Amino acid sequence: MSDGNGARRPLRVAMIGYGFMGATHSVGWRQAPHVFDLPEGVEMAVLVGRRPDAVADAAAHWGWAESATDWREVIGRPDIDIVDIVTPGDAHAEIAIAALDAGKHVLCEKPLANSVAEAEAMLAAAERAAGRGAKAMVGFTYRRVPAVTFLRDLIAQGAVGTVQQVRAAYRQDWLVDPQAPMAWRLQKEHAGSGALGDIGAHIIDMTQFVTGQRVEAVSGTVETIVTQRPRAAAASGFTGTAGEGYDEVTVDDAAIFTGRLSGGALVSFEATRFATGRKNALTIEVSGDRGALVFDLEDLNSLQFYDRTAPADRQGFTKILVTEPQHPYLSSWWPAGHMLGYEHGFVHQVVDLVQAIHDDRQPHPSFAEGLSVQRVLAAVERSAANDSAWERTEVPALATGH
């Protein structure tokens, strides 16, 4: 980035929010410039939160140069180039729109918003801002797990032929215990929806990303398995600890839905927090007339490839360890067989955002892609409310990062 005098200065980042996603994004900003050769410098400038002491502590711990409590003031600062939004979903729209209108590049955690209307407003802001060169990106980082990016590449190369069926599931079990306490993720006013919006959003995005197709219609069921939970004693940690009394769970625990892709294939989706023993089991299987590909986030350095064009007696699922220098993102990391983990996707997200800013092109996933996920989520809820009858998603044709 050039300053007023033509001298290069690094891109300066303000991050709004400092929960779990604040920690992961901080790793991204911290590692990317020291592992990859970025075309622009990056500075972790300001961390913004509501409680002054807590945000100051977080900033110091994570390596942000300053902390602040007024996000409006921060996005008004001329020395800030990128606004990274990691708040709960109910604050995304207001902050993102303001930041974009202030000419900042915006990285917004997924899901883009808590409603289609919010997401539409955000897309409109992104389109306005695009004319002024500002970029807007949604944080579906699982696209940037090397094995997922490579799976997308293989499909684009025709490795599975015509997609005929897809299975996508995201299974966790952190709510199986009926005594797991209430959390903001279980409250409709903060989280918008439950398993559907939180983890279902990931598998909708991943399906569209890897196939390059839209989910055009859905038929689904959503379910709240445990309807009351102990009041949370304090917002400490991911699930918190239990206090006295009970609160109503106002979001779903599980969603099961079938989708129809623009190319015609059926997709079975499941998003659940009640898959006992499954900790973070995002799985996708794409079946085509020439082959199949399978990914499992609990084994994230590999993918399985079945090649129907191989000799009949040698066919089988090949477990490709996606750690070779030829694989996406890998040449900047370690030798083959040295594994990457969960947070590496956040590093790659920074790499790709900075590269897109440098190249002055739209990074993926765009806000349009984020909105498309929102539309699918809304259609699932409509279908569920209408006895599972099929609902059109009204997702327009769009680029999906290919």
Q: What residues between 173 and 232 interact with its own copies by CB under 8 A?
A: 173-174, 176-178, 219, 221, 223, 225
Residues 133-152 that bind its own copies (CB under 8 A): 150
- DSSP secondary structure of 335-363: STT----TTHHHHHHHHHHHHHHHHT---
Q: Six-digit token pair at 22?
A: 């604040």
- For residue 32, the SS3 value is helix
Nearest to 322 by CA among 293, 302, 294: 302
Is residue 296 near its own copies by the rule CB under 8 A? no
Rounded CA gap, 277 and 298, in Å?
A: 12
- Alpha-carbon separation of residue 374 from 10, 215, 237, 360 (angstroms): 34, 11, 27, 26
**Residue from the set 336, 359, 361, 392 that interacts with its own copies by CB under 8 A:** 336
Indicate the residue among 24 and 115 with the shorter CB distance to its own copies.
Answer: 24
Residues 383-402 that bind its own copies (CB under 8 A): 387-390
- Please, what is the minimum distance in Å from the beta carbon of residue 76 to its own copies? 28
Indicate the residue among 69 and 258 with the shorter CB distance to its own copies.
Answer: 258
Residues 90-129 that bind its own copies (CB under 8 A): none
Is residue 299 near its own copies by the rule CB under 8 A? yes
- Alpha-carbon separation of residue 226 from 33, 169, 175, 244 (angstroms): 44, 20, 8, 17
Is residue 348 near its own copies by the rule CB under 8 A? no
The residues, any chain, with a CB within 8 Å of residue 253's CB and separated by 6 or more, are: 175, 194, 195, 223, 224, 225, 226, 272, 273, 274
Is residue 56 near its own copies by the rule CB under 8 A? no
Is residue 233 near its own copies by the rule CB under 8 A? no
Is residue 4 near its own copies by the rule CB under 8 A? no
Total residues at the site for its own copies (CB under 8 A)?
Answer: 88
Stretch binding its own copies (CB under 8 A), from 112-120, 125-133, 167-175, 196-204: 167-175
- For residue 337, the SS3 value is coil
Is residue 298 near its own copies by the rule CB under 8 A? yes
Stretch binding its own copies (CB under 8 A), from 111-119, 129-137, 164-172, 194-202: 164-172
Pair 25, 54: CB distance under 8 Å: no
Indicate the residue among 132 and 238 with the shorter CB distance to its own copies.
Answer: 238
Count of other CB atoms within 10 angstroms of residue 217:
19
Return phi, psi of residue 221, to 5°.
-135, 135
**Residue from the set 4, 78, 131, 335 that interacts with its own copies by CB under 8 A:** 335
Indicate the residue among 230 and 288 with the shorter CB distance to its own copies.
Answer: 288
Is residue 234 near its own copies by the rule CB under 8 A? no
Indicate the residue among 109 and 369 with the shorter CB distance to its own copies.
Answer: 109
**Type of residue at 267:** V
- Please, what is the minimum distance in Å from the beta carbon of residue 247 to its own copies? 20
Indicate the residue among 124 and 176 with the shorter CB distance to its own copies.
Answer: 176
Helices and strands, counts by H and E, the chain:
11, 17
Return phi, psi of residue 63, to 5°.
95, 25
**Type of residue at 315:** Q
* Cis amide bond preceding 111, omega within 30: yes
Is residue 341 near its own copies by the rule CB under 8 A? yes
Is residue 132 near its own copies by the rule CB under 8 A? no
- Please, what is the minimum distance in Å from the beta carbon of residue 108 to its own copies? 21
Is residue 351 near its own copies by the rule CB under 8 A? no
- Crossing angle of helices 116-130 and 367-385, rounded to 10°: 170
CA-CA-CA-CA torsion sign (201, 202, 205, 208): negative
Nearest to 32 by CA among 22, 44, 20: 44
Stretch binding its own copies (CB under 8 A), from 46-54, 88-96, 118-126, 270-278: 270-278
Is residue 327 near its own copies by the rule CB under 8 A? yes
Stretch binding its own copies (CB under 8 A), from 33-41, 66-74, 122-130, 181-189: 33-41
